[in-house]
Amino acid sequence: MGDCLGIAGGLIIMRGIVHPIAVWGRKAPSHSICALMLTDDQQTVVTGSQEGQICLWNLSPDFKTQPRILLFGHVSSVTCFAKASEKQPYVVSAAENGEMCLWNVTNGQCLENTVLPFTHTAICYYYRSFRMSGDGWLLCCGQYQDVLVVDARTLEVLHALISSVTPDWISSMCIVCSQRIQEDSLVGISVTGDLKVWDLSSSVNGVQVTEPEQNIFEAESKSLQCFNCRTICFCTFTERLLLVVCSDYWKVFDYCDFSLLCSACSGVGQRWAGGDVLGANKIIIWTEDGRGYIYQLPDRWVLTCKLHLTVKTFLICSISLLQAVLIFINERKEPFYKILFRGEASGKLSMWHIPDIQTAATLSLQEAFEQPKFVSEELIDQLGVLPDRIQTSLITASVYVANHDKLACGCEDGRIIITLGLHAARAQLLAEHSLLKAWLPHRILVGHHGRVTCLLYPYTKSARFDPSWLVSGGEDSSVMWWNMFKAELLHSFALHAGPVLNLFVCPEDCNVSTDEISDGIRFICWRD
């Protein structure tokens, strides 16, 4: 993204190579944050959106953030992220439709992608160099039974961790690496409130050597009655405490025997959304409506269900948002801060120092677009002053006609502007070049009475169509058939069925005769 914010989108073909390009003007694309993580080097914040986009934000040592790259890798909402390599800057993302993508967050390159018949809601990365070959495992849970073991480099499903007692979906999980007992375990809570523990140390050979048919069962299973679990965290300070955060309460268990040490319920009208361990005797819990609570736990633990707790409360956000996601980073590298990150549905990213509750930084995607060094001209701004006093209008649809180097852009006010694609792209990406700021040659198609919602150049789909044809759909429920070279409207179809969302070319066997005009303009319209 960085210095390349400008026009619309499309494909640019140069020397036989197809280059996808998507740049914007003054208005940022929608980015409703629903997943969030920080890379190991703590220099990049990764956010995923309901729209399927992934944004990489630079994070400076003084907590200044700046969006760097916007990645288009998913067609549905992003559900979770995870680290995917011990030595490389790799991150894996998962989406609601089963897509998984492996990214290099340094350059934004997609290294691998796959589609699985599973919806992942959480992923944990596991690697031990003295035990494992390859790049490690991605331990995945979600809307399926038990836990999948996925190769971190190829995204291939290697095995599954299975429950022998009451198998079910896993709501939340975490990896426990205990120095005290020199053993690694995966701890999960099922949707029925049961705790499951798999021994990862002894499972390595079972995944890498044995036949896939050999099942790997849990080492321990116990009913904790923890329903609607949102987060599970292991206290690395004491290696004795296990924090479980559910919607209506949180509980702290003794990890040795999973006995309950203490618990607290959420307030009236509140629901817990997550939490983490601040120190040996402090935890942080946050709610769905944006409030955070820091609890001081007792210094001496006794096995009772309720203990007196000292609570320090702070306000994360003064308003309740429809959607927000938070993560907590413990012991940030120099300077040694504990940081709480919040991503909002509006595209805003916020940070707080914990426990002094000092706001470190806040920035939205739109605010970044409005900064002086990001502001660039709209494509329409480059068309010059026309006799009809054309005004800047938001581009709502676009298509690039490669064989004629034509870029067609549909606008919010119903106009369709056709100009030279490569010249427009160079003018946007190299805006400082004075020769490229000249008035762009163009044509304007006028016919729609509302926002242009979609454009189709049918010749790229089938040679039976005329190369001069362009088809547009609009919010006014109309489909228009144009000769784009002559800027002439050939026919208008009134559908009276709501906005046209998309246009498709019918299959080859749908037409009986291409000589008839009625057959030559058959298209499929997708409407509300």
Residue 21 lies in a domain: no
Same domain, 193 and 338: yes
pLDDT, residue 333, reads 56
CB atoms near residue 408 (< 10 Å): 26
pLDDT, residue 20, reads 62
Cα maximum dimension of the chain: 88
Among residues 354, 370, 386, the one where a domain terminates is 370
Same domain, 363 and 421: no
Residue 26 lies in a domain: no
pLDDT exceeds 80 at position 444? yes
Residue given tokens 């997609």 in the structure block:
110
Same domain, 42 and 167: yes
pLDDT, residue 216, reads 85
**Dist. CA 369–CA 26, nearest whole Å:** 6
pLDDT, residue 429, reads 58
Number of domains in the chain: 2
Same domain, 190 and 42: yes
132 vs 311, higher pLDDT = 132
Residue 162 lies in a domain: yes
Same domain, 258 and 330: yes
Least-confidence region, from 45-54, 55-64, 220-229, 368-377: 368-377
528 vs 194, higher pLDDT = 194
**Dist. CA 418–CA 409, nearest whole Å:** 6
pLDDT, residue 8, reads 39
DSSP for 260-275, written as a single string: EEEEEEPPTT--EEEE
Find, among 329, 366, 372, 360, the residue nearest to 347 by Cα.
366
Q: What DSSP state is assigned to residue 506?
A: P
Same domain, 366 and 401: no
Same domain, 365 and 478: no
CB atoms near residue 59 (< 10 Å): 24
pLDDT, residue 330, reads 59
pLDDT, residue 3, reads 34
Which CATH number is 490's domain given?
A: 2.130.10.10
Which amino acid is located at 377 in the chain? E
pLDDT, residue 494, reads 83
Least-confidence region, from 145-159, 164-178, 347-361: 347-361
Q: What DSSP state is assigned to residue 201?
A: H
Residue 57 lies in a domain: yes
Residue 14 lies in a domain: no
463 vs 457, higher pLDDT = 457
Among residues 370, 405, 430, the one where a domain terminates is 370
Same domain, 186 and 271: yes
CB 239 within 8 A of CB 179: yes
- Please tell me the chain's helix, strand, coil percentages from 3-state DSSP, rounded to the nearest 5: 10, 50, 45
Same domain, 364 and 493: no
List the domain range (segments joined by +) for residue 427: 395-525
**pLDDT range class, residue 426, cuts 50, 70, 90:** low
Average pLDDT of the residues in 177-188: 82
Same domain, 321 and 358: yes
**pLDDT range class, residue 480, cuts 50, 70, 90:** very high
CB 102 within 8 A of CB 145: no
510 vs 86, higher pLDDT = 86
pLDDT, residue 295, reads 85
pLDDT in tens, 315-353: 444 333 334 566 666 555 555 667 888 888 888 888 877
Average pLDDT of the residues in 455-468: 87
pLDDT, residue 379, reads 56
Least-confidence region, from 5-19, 140-154, 221-235: 5-19
Among residues 353, 370, 387, the one where a domain terminates is 370
**pLDDT range class, residue 525, cuts 50, 70, 90:** low
pLDDT in tens, 102-151: 999 998 999 999 999 999 999 999 998 766 777 889 999 999 999 999 99
Strands 272-279 and 282-287, sheet pairing: antiparallel
Residue 349 lies in a domain: yes
Same domain, 362 and 414: no
Residue 520 lies in a domain: yes
Residue 404 lies in a domain: yes
Mean pLDDT of the chain: 78
Same domain, 313 and 421: no
Average pLDDT of the residues in 300-324: 44
DSSP for 415-477, written as a single string: -EEEEEHHHHHHHHHTTT-GGGGSPPPEEEE---SS-EEEEE-GGGT-TTS-TTEEEEEETTS
Could you give the angle at the alpha carbon of 258 between the alpha carbons of 36 and 340, nearest 5°? 20
